[in-house]
Amino acid sequence: MENMKWNEKFKTFCFAKGWTQQDIVEMTGISIVTVRHWYQGTRPISQKHRLILKEKIGLNLSILEDGEIDIYSLFSKDMKWNNKLKAYCYAKGWNFDEVAKMTGFAPMTISHWFAGNKRPSDKTKLLLVEKLGIDISIFYEEFE
């Protein structure tokens, strides 16, 4: 469980789904300026917008409260492994450089993994499990 602010949980939810801010705008009809404020945590999400987010993108409204969240609960069954890895690291507050330092891999390698351009070997997956504390199942599409 991670203790996160509501806007960090919202960003992690969107990131886990592979959605950009523009994707949220297109799916919901909410302005980009409003979505940016939410990402920054500078404007709360109104009740009207909460209902739109629930209806249009299936957002569990408890995500919009500060507090603990199970990162793995944000992953869908059909989610790609690289988006799971990115979302997990993002939720922990880690960027490419921090993950690189923790694991001993080059930031460019981490970038390739996050983009899904390259996949870590089985040996590397085990190292990532050890160094980052992630569940090995995130590397497999059939995560449940």
Same fold, 2-72 and 77-139: yes
Residue 110 has pLDDT above 80, yes or no: yes
State the burial class of residue 55 (Cβ atoms within 10 Å of its Cβ: 0-12, 13-18, 19+): exposed
SS3 labels along the chain: CEEECHHHHHHHHHHHHCCCHHHHHHHHCCCHHHHHHHHHCCCCCCHHHHHHHHHHHCCCHHHHCCEEECHHHHCCCCCCHHHHHHHHHHHHCCCHHHHHHHHCCCHHHHHHHHHCCCCCCHHHHHHHHHHHCCCHHHHCCCCC
Whether the model pTM is above 0.85: no
Per-residue pLDDT tens digits for 117-131? 999 999 999 999 999
Longest distance between any two alpha carbons in the chain, whole Å: 48
Question: φ, ψ for residue 115 (rounded to 5)?
Answer: -80, -15
85: left (phi over 0), alpha (psi -120 to 50) or beta: alpha
Rounded mean pLDDT of 65-80? 73
pLDDT grade for 5, boundaries at 50, 70 and 90: confident
Question: What are the extents of the domains in the chain?
Answer: 2-72, 77-139
What CATH number labels 2-72?
1.10.260.40
- Can you tell me the distance from the alpha carbon of 110 to that of 2, in angstroms, rounded to the nearest whole number? 22
pLDDT for 83-101, tens place per residue?
A: 888 888 877 878 888 999 9
To the question of domain 77-139 being in CATH 3.40.190.170, the answer is no
pLDDT in tens, 12-61: 888 777 789 999 999 999 999 999 999 998 999 999 999 999 899 888 77
The percentage of residues in the chain with a pLDDT greater than 90, rounded to a whole number, is 41
- pLDDT, residue 124, reads 93
